[in-house]
């Protein structure tokens, strides 16, 4: 997978999309763009360990390592899809 800009990532969400990360919700593309810009400032690598889902929802389990406390950490990413876009993304750490 190639790296994508925060703008590219935000455009994958519905206009009213929601990202929940670190127990904070980011509503709408503008907030998702800001969230992604903040995340991009952290140096990390992701390795997908498992993936399952269908046309309505996808769940990924990933190992994330980088310059942060408790690295590496397992994360679960739960995507809910709508008409080819992401309606919601919930990121759950397995600490």
pLDDT tens across 31-89, in order? 999 999 999 888 899 999 999 999 999 999 999 999 888 999 999 999 999 999 999 99
C-alpha 90/C-alpha 78 separation (Å) is: 5
At 2, the pLDDT band (50, 70, 90 cuts) reads low
Q: Is the pLDDT of residue 15 over 80?
A: yes
C-alpha 31/C-alpha 16 separation (Å) is: 10
Domains and CATH numbers, the chain: 6-93 (3.10.450.50)
For residue 4, what pLDDT is reported?
86
For residue 67, what pLDDT is reported?
85
Q: Is the pLDDT of residue 1 over 50?
A: no
């Amino acid at each position: 997978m190639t790296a994508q800009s925060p703008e590219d990532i935000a455009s994958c969400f519905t206009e009213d999309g929601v990202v929940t990360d670190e127990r904070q919700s980011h509503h709408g593309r503008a907030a998702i763009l800001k969230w992604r810009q903040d995340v991009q400032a952290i140096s990390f690598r992701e390795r997908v360990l498992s993936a399952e889902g269908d046309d309505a929802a996808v769940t990924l389990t990933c190992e994330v390592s980088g310059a942060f406390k408790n690295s590496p950490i397992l994360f679960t990413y739960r995507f809910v899809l709508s008409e080819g876009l992401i309606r919601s993304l919930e990121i759950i750490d397995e600490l």
